Amino acid sequence: MSYKENLFPHPTKTFPIGVEYYRGGSPSPDVWEKDFKRIKESGFTIIRSASYWNWMEPAPGKYDMSDYDLFFDLAQKNGLYVWLDIMLATHGACPEWLIKKYPDMNTVNHLGQKIMPHAHPAYPQGGVIHCYDHPAWKKHGGALLHHVINRYKDHPALHVWGLWDGIALPSMWSEQGDQSPCYCDNSIKKYFEWLKSNFTLSEYNTKTLRKYQDWNHVDVPRSNNNVLEMLLYRRFHYENLSEQLKWMIDETRKLDTIHETRTHGSQPRPWDEICAQYADSWGMSMASNNLLTSNNPYKIAERAFVFDWARCLGKNGRWWNEEIYSGMSKGGVTWKKQTDPKELLILLWMTLAHGASGAMFWQYRPDYVSFESPGYNLISLDGNPTERFKAVSNAIGQIDNLSKHLPLSIPKSEVALVNHQFSHELFSYNDEGERFLSDIRGTYRTLWEHGIPIDIVTPKMDWSDYKLVIMPNLALMTNEVANRITTTLNQNESTSLVAEGNFGLYAENGLSSYKPPENFSNQFGVRISDFSRVTDEEIDRENHFLQTKYGDIQLTSSFGYAVLEPKGKTKTIATYKNNPIAIQTQDKRFTWYSTTFSEGFRDIGSKDLLLGIVNENNIHIPLEMAGDKLISLVRKSKMGGHLVFLFNIERTQATTTIKPNWKYTHIEDKLGNASSNKPNSNSINIEIEPWDLNILYFE
C-alpha cells in the first residue's frame, strides 16, 4: 500500500516540487526567461505545461510546436525539468477542423443533443466536445501523440508525460452536458458489442427484469431511474474509459520506455480505481483557500483522505499532489477569499507526509486569458512574488534539508476503510453521491484526527491483514464484494468487519434485496424490519441519543437508520428509542450500525463510536498525546527510525505532551520552529504556533 521504491528518480531531488506555467499562449514568452530563472532560484525543479490540442495542431497534420521548443530549451538552460500534459481529452477541445471533418464526432447527451463548442475557466480555448469512441480520435489524436513524444522524448529537460488530466467521461466537462455518459452512435455501437460479449440476451433480461426477444429491441438507458440498465451502461463506459487511457499509455511506451506516465482525478469518483491501474502514478487537484481560515479547519481532513486514496490506488503506492491551487477558486472580476500562505504550507507538508512522490502548484503566474485570473497564482499579475510564493520557496528549502530521510515509508495500517465505487455510483443515481462521500470522509476524519493510521481499500484489494475493516455504505452487494467479505472472514480470524449505514440493501444487479443484507442475512443473523429518519426539526425540539455499549451518545443532526432484528446468537449492541440499530455476531467479527458514524453528527465521525470500536479491536496508536490538539503522522525514515509530523491547524498556540509507543535513543527537531524538552520518562512537551508544524526525528 505504501510507496516502496523510487521507480522514476528525479535528476536532482528526492521530493521534487514544481509549478504549472504555460497553457496555449499564456503567459507570453517574453517573460519566460526571467520567470524560469526565479523559479529555479526559489527551489522549484519542474515546470508543467497543460497543452491544448487545437493549439498544437491548428490544421490537419500541421504541428505548431515552436513555443514548446522554446519552453523545453529554456527549461534546460535554467536547470528545470518539464512535465508535459498532452491534452487529447478532458481539458481542451479537439481542433475545430476535426469536428467539421467528422460531424458525427460530437459527444451526445441523453436527450440526443450534440454537445456544441463551449469554454470554461479551465479551458478557455474550448472544452471537450468530441467523443473518444469515434475512430478519428485515435487516428488524429494518436498522430499528435506520436509527434509530440518523438519530438521531446530525448530532450534532456523531459521528466513526466501527463497523459490524461482529470480523467472523466467526455460529457462531464461540458456546460451543455448533464454528467451522463455519451449517447453518440459510436458509443452505443460499442456498448452493444460489450453487452453481447458479456451476456446472452436471456442473461441480460434476468439482470434488468426485461423480456426482450431480440437484441435489436434493446435500447440504452437515458435516466438514472433506470437503475438496473444504467449500472450496466456506466460500467461499460468506465471500462471503456480505462481502455482509452491504456491505449494512450501503450502508444507512449512504444516510443518511450523511460519517462513516467501519469493521470489524475480529484475527489473520489466511481471510475478512479479502474483507470489508476495503468499509469505509472496517480494524482489529484484541490482547492486551498478558506481551509484553515474557516471556522472548520479540520475540514482539511478531506484533502488528507484524497491523499491516502491516491496512495492506495497508485501503482506501487506512487502518487503526486498534482495541483495544489495557489490561490482563490476562482478569481475573475470579483474576488474570493485568498489562500493564506500557511494553508499552502500545510497542504505541501501533508503531501510529503502522506507519501507523495512530489508536489505541483497550480500555478505560477495568473492565467491571464480566463477568469481563473487573478486566482490560482503564486506570483502577482505583474510578475513579482507574493507572500505565498515566498512561503513556499522557504518550505522547499526545509524539505530539501530532509532529503536523507526521503522517500518516506508508510507502514501498512491496522485499520482499512472501504471505498466501494459502485456503491458510490448507486448513491449518485438517487442524488446522494455527496452523502456517500460525506460518510466515508467523516469516518476517515475522526480516525485521522486521533492519529490512527488508515489505508483506503476496495473490494479488489486484500483485506485479510487488517485488524479492523470499516465499510461505510457498502450498499451494492456485488459478487466481488460478497466474495471479499467471505474470503476475509475465512482467511484471518483476527480481522473484524464493521459495516455502517446502508449495507447490502441492493443485489448484484442493483435490485433491492429480498432478504437484506444480501447474501449475509442468515450468516450474520440479522434482518431489516423497517427504515426511518430523525429530522433536523426533531433534533432541534429535544435531545436525541443512541444507546450504545460505549454509553449514551447525543445526536446533533438529522440521520437515517434501519431497524435491525437480530436472530439466533447475534446480539443488539445499540438502540435508538428502543429500536435496535446495531448488531454484533457472537464471535464479534461482524458488526453493523444501520446509521453511519457521521450523518447524525454533522458529517464528523462520532468520536465515541469510532474510538470505542478501535479500542475494542486493540488497534495500536503510534503516538499518545495529551493537551492541545495536534494532528500526528508517524512515518519511517530512509535512515531508520521514525519521522513524526505534528500539525497545529488551529488559530491558537498548541502546548502538548507526546509519548511515542516505540523505543528511541535520540530526538532531533528537524524544523527548529517548535519548543520541546529532552526526553523525560519517554514524554516530550512541545509547543507549536498557530497553523504551523514541527517534524521530530526519533533515532
Instruction: Encode pLDDT of 38-59 as tens digits.
Output: 999 999 999 999 888 999 999 9
pLDDT value at 3 more than 80: no
Q: 219: how many CB neighbours lie within 10 A of its CB?
A: 10
Who's near 3: CB < 8 A, 6+ residues apart? 311, 314, 316, 317, 318, 319, 355, 357, 407, 408, 409, 410
Q: What is the mean pLDDT of the segment spanning 636-648? A: 96
Does the pLDDT of residue 680 top 60, yes or no?
Answer: no
pLDDT at 101 over 90: yes
Its pTM stands at 0.96
Round to whole Å and give the CA distance between 521 and 503.
11
More confidently predicted of 396 and 179: 396
Tell me the β-bridge partners of 201. Answer: none
Contact partners, residue 547, CB within 8 Å, separation at least 6: 574, 575, 576
Q: Give the percent of the chain with pLDDT over 70.
A: 97
Residue 432 has pLDDT above 50, yes or no: yes
Q: Which of 1-15, 233-247, 328-342 has the highest mean pLDDT?
A: 233-247
pLDDT average, residue stretch 518-528:
98
Q: State the distance between the two ends of the chain, measured CA to CA, in whole angstroms.
A: 24
- Please report which confidence band the pLDDT of residue 232 belongs to, taking 50, 70 and 90 as the band edges: very high
pLDDT at 2: 33
Of 127 and 464, more confident:
464
Class of domain 415-616: alpha beta
State the average pLDDT for the chain. 94
The residue that leads in pLDDT, 240 or 265, is 240
What pLDDT is stored for residue 440 in this prediction?
Answer: 98
HEC secondary structure over 256-313: CCCCEEEECECCCCCCHHHHHCCCCEEEEEECCCCCCCCCCHHHHHHHHHHHHHHHHH
Closest CA to 655 of 679, 678, 677: 677
Task: Find where cell 522554446 sits.
Answer: 70
516 falls in which pLDDT band (50, 70, 90)? very high
The DSSP letter of residue 22 is E
Average pLDDT rounded to a whole number, residues 554-564:
97
- Cβ atoms within 10 Å, residue 110: 18
How far is residue 606's CA from residue 590's CA, in Å, rounded to a whole number?
19
Domain 623-698: assigned CATH number: 2.60.40
The residue written with cell numbers 454484533 in the block is 584
Q: Distance between CA atoms of 582 and 571, rounded to whole angstroms?
A: 9
Residue 173 main-chain phi, psi, to 5 deg: -105, 15
The stretch 634-653 carries a mean pLDDT of: 96
Is residue 162 over pLDDT 90?
yes
Rounded to 10 degrees, the C-alpha dihedral 273/274/275/281 comes to: 50
17-178+259-405, superfamily in CATH? Glycosidases (3.20.20.80)
In three state form, how does the secondary structure of 360-406 look? EEECCCCCCCCCCCCCCCCECCCCCECHHHHHHHHHHHHHHCCHHHC
Please give the backbone phi and psi of residue 555, each rounded to the nearest 5 degrees, phi first: -85, 145
pLDDT digits over 381-416, tens only? 999 999 999 999 999 999 999 999 999 999 999 999
Residue 129 β-bridge partners: none
Measured in degrees and rounded to the nearest 5, phi and psi for residue 71 equal -60, -50
Single out the residue of 353, 448, 339, 428 nearest to residue 387, CA to CA.
339
Answer whether the bond into residue 135 is a cis peptide, omega within 30°: no
Listed by start position, the domains of the chain span: 17-178+259-405, 415-616, 623-698
What is the average per-residue pLDDT within 618-625? Answer: 95
